[in-house]
Amino acid sequence: MCGIVGYIGSKKAKPILINGLLRLEYRGYDSAGVATIEKNGISVVKNKGRVAELEKLSAIDSLEGTIGIAHTRWATHGKPSTENSHPHVNGKKDFAVVHNGIIENYNELREFLLKQGYTFYSQTDTEVIPNLIDYYFSKDDKDDDKKVLRAVVSACSELKGSFALEILSTHLPDKMIVVRKDSPLVIGKTDTENYISSDIPAILSYTKDFYLLDDYEYVVLSKGSAEFYNSDLKPIKKQTVNIDWNASAAEKDGYDDFMLKEIHEQPKSIRETIGSRLSADGTCNIESLDFTKEYLNSLNKICIVACGTAMHAGLVGKTIFEKFCHIPTEVDIASEFRYRDPLINEKTLVVFITQSGETADTIAALKLSKQKGAKTLAISNVIGSSITREADYTIYTHAGPEIAVASTKAYTSQVVLISILAIYFAKLLEMKGKEIDALKDAILELPSKVEETLKCSKQIKCFAKKVYKEKDLFFLGRGIDYNVALEASLKLKEISYIHSDAYAAGELKHGPIALIEKDITVVSIMTDPNLVEKTISNVQEVITRGAKTLVITNQNLGDHKFDNIITIPETNPLISPILSVIPLQLLAYYISKEKGLDVDKPRNLAKSVTVE
């Protein structure tokens, strides 16, 4: 997905912009560009392809300016090409703009501007923006220092859709204007500089003090200051937020890929998620929640809404909420939930899980839930992300920045946090029982058990060498193991491009078993003592039909024989996904490596999906 970087200070902007773009590469993109304010006006350098291609252009060496904007583009409107890449300028080149998001009414605006004599050189929705700003600028008779800002505000009031914008103008050569609506944008500040980005990690090495923008807050940036205005051009006050992420957490630290590093970080990230929420003496507290027993008793249901991996974490949450809190719990895909007129009201608690906090469908589902009167609780990993500013309550996973597109440590932290949330609710509801205490103890033991589980790495690497050329793979499980099968299948697809499917093992004979033929690989997960025998029977059925098997288990499998077995530590079956997913994350990783693919930046995918 597109990425934005900007700089305004006393240093040369170009290296800072390029460094920021490189840090945004993980988001996925197909072209890149920069614009700086030079002595003779705005200079734009852009190119199709990677940032490395941009750096090869000789024009980039001549950029000396100390104010600049930059962008990596992930094509939506118009093919990947140099003309379509950002920044975009108006004909007179006195405005340059980079944009994340989608302008839904760009056709209409383009028609209007064409009639006013404007010319367009790209197929993008973005190109209307510098031209629309120019249109309002030219119509404004008043010549004061707010003239560019007025033009930007007027132009933005015409835009439908989502946008995060950085705007340069030769009429305001010492400044930059930025604004956002439904698309992320943050400003990192030092005493003498401002760094702008769509993603905190891109500028984390320069500062830890950030302004987190709300929709339609216009910011006029200069070297050492940031002035904030609302849409009526009234000044507003804004405080910085300290983002306590370690800059080195956004580096590879000697690992070949971010994904491998993030898989291995899981003992630490889980420890951070548990934090002081759960302690050995049995206490369980979640900061910033003020729910009461009466409120929880009044609920008609809990809905968990998310996309992709985050939704898979929600599936685990459902089992625990229902078991310990006795509250009916549904799990929904955000893009389905938002369009199916869900039956929710003020007696529903809707929990949104999102690593990035910027997923467009999840945010839209949250807005819909609020309209319907439901209470909303966000579980996110990114402090100050868009969803956290919309939700009634937010709790953070504290997993540290996740850079690889394939989510790993965010998933395990989400499962940990939702389990702690269920325990917290059970405590408020005065539910008592050995099982709740046992789950608490099991969560506290997780970091060391994850450490232990990671030792299967070598075995998995060998198995990956055997199967990486296959065209199809199947994952089977029952109950909570089926939830893990879904996540394993998604992980494999997204980074190895091997087709795979996950099935509830009991469903096999209702159709999918027709696909089983000699030498096909079936991976099964067996961690629930109550279901292990049932799953073994299903796996026997595929063995009979010639399948090769890999079993991930912490159970005694008796005399049953399988081609490959990975043994993981025992834990409470409710949270076993946190351990059983690890060999499967590694499997996807090593298969992708064997195939020589780009693990961290799989084709067609973006880290945060900020458009619908």
In the complex, the residues that contact ligand AGP under the rule CB under 6 A are: 307-310, 354-356, 359, 362, 405-407, 494, 608-609
Q: What's the order of all strands across the beta sheet hosting 499-504?
A: 499-504, 472-477, 521-526, 548-553, 564-567
Catalytic: 2? Answer: yes
Q: In angstroms, what is the minimal distance from the CB of 220 to ligand AGP? A: 31
Q: In angstroms, what is the minimal distance from the CB of 605 to ligand AGP? A: 6
Q: Which is nearer to ligand AGP, 89 or 399 (CB)?
A: 399
DSSP E strand boundaries for 381-471: 393-396
How many residues does the structure list for the chain? 612
373, two tokens: 């009167």
Q: What is the DSSP string of 250-293?
A: GS-TT-SSHHHHHHHTHHHHHHHHHTTTB-TTS-B--TT----H
Catalytic: 607? Answer: yes
Q: Which residue is nearest to ligand AGP (CB)?
A: 308
Neighbours of 518 (CB within 10 A): 8
Q: Which is nearer to ligand AGP, 520 or 599 (CB)?
A: 599
> CB neighbours of 427 closer than 8 A, spacing ≥ 6?
284, 436
Neighbours of 544 (CB within 10 A): 9
Residues forming beta bridges with residue 48, ordered by sequence position: 31
AA letter at 545:
R
Q: Which is nearer to ligand AGP, 572 or 608 (CB)?
A: 608
Q: Which is nearer to ligand AGP, 72 or 407 (CB)?
A: 407
DSSP E strand boundaries for 356-491: 375-380, 393-396, 472-477
Contact 301, 327 (CB under 8 A): yes
Q: Which is nearer to ligand AGP, 259 or 542 (CB)?
A: 259
The H or E element that residue 590 is part of is helix 577-594
Q: Which is nearer to ligand AGP, 126 or 386 (CB)?
A: 386
372, two tokens: 């319907």
> CB neighbours of 550 closer than 8 A, spacing ≥ 6?
463, 521, 522, 523, 524, 562, 563, 564, 565, 566, 587
218, two tokens: 């216009």
Q: Which is nearer to ligand AGP, 124 or 355 (CB)?
A: 355
3-state secondary structure 155-187: HHHHCCEEEEEEEEECCCCCCEEEEEECCCCEE
C-alpha–C-alpha distance, residues 179 and 148, integer Å: 13
Q: Which of 2, 156, 284, 303 is catalytic?
A: 2
> Burial level of 119, CB count in 10 A (0-12/13-18/19+)?
exposed
Distance from CA of residue 30 to its chain's centroid? Answer: 19
Least Cα distance to 142 among 130, 133, 152, 151 occurs for 151
Q: Which is nearer to ligand AGP, 520 or 609 (CB)?
A: 609
AA letter at 556:
N
> CB neighbours of 609 closer than 8 A, spacing ≥ 6?
1, 307, 359, 360, 361
Q: Which is nearer to ligand AGP, 127 or 494 (CB)?
A: 494
Q: Which is nearer to ligand AGP, 284 or 310 (CB)?
A: 310
Q: In angstroms, what is the minimal distance from the CB of 513 to ligand AGP? A: 28
Q: In angstroms, what is the minimal distance from the CB of 11 to ligand AGP? A: 32
* Bond into 80 cis (ω within 30): no
The H or E element that residue 426 is part of is helix 409-428
3-state secondary structure 329-380: EEEEEHHHHCCCCCCCCCCEEEEEEECCCCCHHHHHHHHHHHHCCCEEEEEE
Q: Which is nearer to ligand AGP, 250 or 439 (CB)?
A: 250
The H or E element that residue 48 is part of is strand 41-48
Least Cα distance to 404 among 264, 591, 246, 552 occurs for 264
Contact 269, 400 (CB under 8 A): yes
Q: In angstroms, what is the minimal distance from the CB of 607 to ligand AGP? A: 7
Q: In angstroms, what is the minimal distance from the CB of 250 to ligand AGP? A: 16
Q: In angstroms, what is the minimal distance from the CB of 402 to ligand AGP? A: 9
Helix, strand, coil distribution of the chain in percent, nearest 5: 40, 25, 40
Q: In angstroms, what is the minimal distance from the CB of 228 to ligand AGP? A: 27
The H or E element that residue 16 is part of is helix 13-23
Q: Which is nearer to ligand AGP, 405 or 421 (CB)?
A: 405
Q: In angstroms, what is the minimal distance from the CB of 413 to ligand AGP? A: 11
Q: Which of 409, 427, 601, 607 is catalytic?
A: 607
Q: Which residues are catalytic?
A: 2, 607
